[in-house]
Amino acid sequence: YQRRDMGSFLALALFGITGYVSYGGNTCAVITMSLQEGGTKTAVSVMLFIASLVIIPQQIFPFAEVIDRRFLGLTKLPTYFQLNANFSRICATIFCGIVAYFVPYYGLLSAISGAIGCSVLGFIVPGLLERKRRMRQNPVLRWWEHVLIFSFVGFGFFIMILCTVMSVYKIINVVDLDYVATCF
């Protein structure tokens, strides 16, 4: 499990570093904005679209599990051929796509939810769960364990506040000032 995660991290880091080395400080967060028109841009766009079709259902899995339990009454993980659960997942994916298409500035709005959600789920909650786990094993933590855990949680709060402020700033620039940038 950890080897796979480390491999994914290294692949993504290598991809990001390669983009930065290739394009320098003008690298856009959305890689297709950095590419010139032509076959490469089309190929990368198609691959990103296919990756999105695979990734979005994974990201909405917790949401789909809540639907399964609350509305469909399922208590076990559904199989691939169980129509009602898979239908709810397909509907949720289509709904997300429709919202992304019709809501103006959806990318900017999703940056705020990403800033809040990713920092909470990536730093704050794991840090607090790790503290809880360690407290169960040994009720008296050493000073460096407190520093480590609260540094991790504090970093999560810092990232959440910083990214939220930056996202709101971009929304203000784009919506109120009609600022159009080549990269978002």
One pLDDT digit (tens) per residue for the chain, 184 residues: 456 667 777 877 787 777 677 767 666 666 666 667 788 778 877 887 777 777 766 677 777 777 777 877 777 776 767 776 677 777 877 887 788 778 777 777 777 888 888 888 788 888 888 888 888 888 888 888 888 889 989 998 999 999 889 888 888 877 777 665 555 4
Q: Give SS3 for 102.
A: helix
Query: Which pLDDT score is estimated for 1?
Result: 46
pLDDT in the model for residue 179? 61
- Report residue 20 as tokens: 């930065």
Q: What is the pLDDT of residue 32?
A: 65
| CB environment 61-93: b (16+ within 10 A), e (fewer) | eeebeebbeeeeebeeebeeeeeebeebbeebb
- In angstroms, the CA 70 to CA 84 distance is 13
pLDDT of residue 34: 64
From residue 46, give the alpha-carbon distance in Å to each of 85, 111, 142.
28, 23, 51
pTM for this structure? 0.55
**Which residues, 6 or more positions from 155, have their beta carbon under 8 angstroms from its beta carbon?**
123
